[in-house]
Amino acid sequence: MDFLLAALKEGIRVDGRAPTEPRDVSFSFPHERGHAEVKMGNTRVLACISAEILAPYPDRPNEGILSFTTDFSPMASPAFEPGRSSERGIEISRVVERGIRETRAINMESLCILAGEKVWSVRCDLHVLDDGGNLMDCLSLAAMAAFLHFRKPQLSVAGDRLIVYPASLKDPVPLTIHHVPIAVTFGLFTASNLAVLDPTTEEEAHMDGALTVTINSRGVICAIQKAGGAPITQPQILALTGQAAQRAKQLVAILTDALKATGGPAAEGEPEWTHEAGLPSVPAMPAAFASGPPAAHMPALHTRPILAAPAPALSPPAAANPSPSPAAAASPAGAKEAEGRSSPPPTPSPTPSPTGAQKKKRGPPTSLRERAAGQK
């Protein structure tokens, strides 16, 4: 500890970096669309984006829903306790969330499908895999990388029906992202009067305070967090903000290159839905929006892609397409039943299940496939 502080007094960091030198950053997009893993030195985090269709909040009927969860598992650092997030964890996740949500980095109106009825709910799950210091920067970078990498299925609204196109029919589309906020953290050391960029865990343990500036590549500050700790003067803050702006530009450039290298061609092509083959398909959204269930019953897309059947001719034969009964998907109870099913039914048939049939009588015929089944 004394060594670290003594070295800093001479402007040397224990890992050999200059005070304003960041660690190497690398991105990988490991599993599927919307999953991004970011490495910053020994810090490693994974961000996963998923989307489902829900009813909007009543006070914001024409905006989508954006939710964040941050998981500090004990795997990443012995300092994390399982089950509950520490005060530091709360601060980190709040700053990451604030930088993206409050600055409207993601266009929430574009997530609206039908005002007051159905919107996209986009979740961002952040997992700390390894805490090597500076989680704030790493998490916010991973979240933005994942948002940029994510694609949501295309939709169309026809009358009272909502059709979710699978990737094989229509290319999924990216989210509308206004700007890319990047968090840049400085560790403050009073004794040596230094602000070090991108502190490691050792430096975090001994620093007197920290300043995080979330800034985008256009030089617009999106968030600042300096919650107590060593006091610094106004000119120092402005100088650090300038440094942060430069660093953010660099990071956006690295991120853009990484996305181009891995995501560019795939952006136009099909997303790699890994579970597509093995999961039951759900024909479409339930019938009338007004009478439809308000709550979520559409499964999350990253685990259960929704296969739509826009026309009967396009829908594969029942044997090849192990789907739950169409009526089951048309009623909330049926949808629950479909979700509860871990594997496709052994002998799928278009005949509605008894419960589904009972529910069906209350509403008009729902999906085209069901109508097709009736015609048979």
Partner 1 sequence: MVDRFLFSGLRQDGRRPKELRLIECEMGVEPGADGSAVWHQGNTVVYATVQGPKESTFRSRNQTGRAQISVEFFLAPFSGSDRRVRSRFDRRNKEIAQALQQTLQTAIVGEQFPRSQISININVVQADGGVRSAAMNAATLALVDAGIPMHDFVACCSAGFLQDTAVLDPNSSEEGAAGGGPGGSASPDLPVALFPASGEISLLQLGSQLPCEKLADLMQLASEGCQQIAALMRECVTKHVASRLRSRETVTRTD
Q: Which stretch binds partner 1 (CB under 8 A): 50-58, 105-113, 257-265, 280-288?
A: 105-113
Chosen residue from 20, 28, 77, 241 binding partner 1 by CB under 8 A: 241
30: tokens are: 């490991």
Q: Does 264 bind partner 1 (CB under 8 A)?
A: no
Chosen residue from 31, 60, 123, 179 binding partner 1 by CB under 8 A: 179
What's the Cα-to-Cα distance from 6 to each of 206, 232, 239, 248, rounded to whole Å?
Answer: 12, 21, 24, 30
Q: Which stretch binds partner 1 (CB under 8 A): 50-58, 97-105, 288-296, 309-317?
A: 97-105
Distance CA 278, CA 161 (A): 26
Q: Does 104 bind partner 1 (CB under 8 A)?
A: yes
Q: Does 315 bind partner 1 (CB under 8 A)?
A: no
Distance CA 155, CA 204 (A): 46
Chosen residue from 94, 123, 170, 341 binding partner 1 by CB under 8 A: 94
Q: Does 229 bind partner 1 (CB under 8 A)?
A: yes
Following DSSP, what letter does each residue of 105-156 receive, concatenated? -B-SGGGEEETTTEEEEEEEEEEEEE--S-HHHHHHHHHHHHHHH-EE--EE
Nearer to partner 1, 94 or 341 (CB): 94
Q: Does 185 bind partner 1 (CB under 8 A)?
A: no
What is the DSSP-derived secondary structure letter of residue 95?
A: H
Distance CA 135, CA 89 (A): 9
Following DSSP, what letter does each residue of 236-283 receive, concatenated? HHHHHHHHHHHHHHHHHHHHHHHHHHHHHHHHHS----TTGGGS----
Q: Which stretch binds partner 1 (CB under 8 A): 98-106, 130-138, 279-287, 292-300?
A: 98-106
Would you call 184 exposed, middle or buried from its count of C-beta atoms within 10 A (0-12, 13-18, 19+)?
buried
Q: Does 238 bind partner 1 (CB under 8 A)?
A: yes
Q: Does 242 bind partner 1 (CB under 8 A)?
A: yes
Instruction: List Cβ neighbours of 83 (8 Å cut-off, separation of 6 or more).
Output: none
Following DSSP, what letter does each residue of 344-362 receive, concatenated? --SS--SSPPHHHHHHHTT
Nearer to partner 1, 234 or 375 (CB): 234
Q: Does 252 bind partner 1 (CB under 8 A)?
A: no
Chosen residue from 11, 30, 74, 231 binding partner 1 by CB under 8 A: 231
Binding to partner 1 in span 188-227, by CB under 8 A? 208-209, 211, 215, 219-227
Binding to partner 1 in span 18-47, by CB under 8 A? none
Chosen residue from 45, 96, 108, 145 binding partner 1 by CB under 8 A: 108
158 CA to centre of own chain = 28
348: tokens are: 């799928």
Chosen residue from 1, 234, 268, 376 binding partner 1 by CB under 8 A: 234
Chosen residue from 71, 91, 171, 337 binding partner 1 by CB under 8 A: 91
Q: Are strands 194-197 and 182-189 parallel, antiparallel or unpaired?
A: antiparallel
Nearer to partner 1, 93 or 331 (CB): 93
Q: Does 12 bind partner 1 (CB under 8 A)?
A: no
Which residue in 236, 223, 235, 225 sits closest to 189, CA to CA? 236
Mark residues 127-166: x for contact with partner 1 by CB under 8 A, - for none. ----------------------------------------
Q: How far is the CB of 127 from partner 1 (least distance, A)?
A: 18
Instruction: List Cβ neighbours of 133 (8 Å cut-off, separation of 6 or more).
Output: 41, 42, 43, 198, 199, 200, 201, 202, 203, 204
Q: Which stretch binds partner 1 (CB under 8 A): 3-11, 107-115, 249-257, 315-323?
A: 107-115
Distance CA 77, CA 75 (A): 6
Q: Does 62 bind partner 1 (CB under 8 A)?
A: no
Distance CA 190, CA 208 (A): 6
Query: How many residues contact partner 1, by CB under 8 A?
Result: 39
Chosen residue from 102, 115, 253, 264 binding partner 1 by CB under 8 A: 102
What's the Cα-to-Cα distance from 315 to each of 297, 345, 348, rounded to whole Å?
Answer: 22, 18, 14
Site of interaction with partner 1 (CB under 8 A): 87, 90-91, 93-94, 98, 102-104, 107-109, 178-179, 208-209, 211, 215, 219-234, 237-238, 241-242, 245
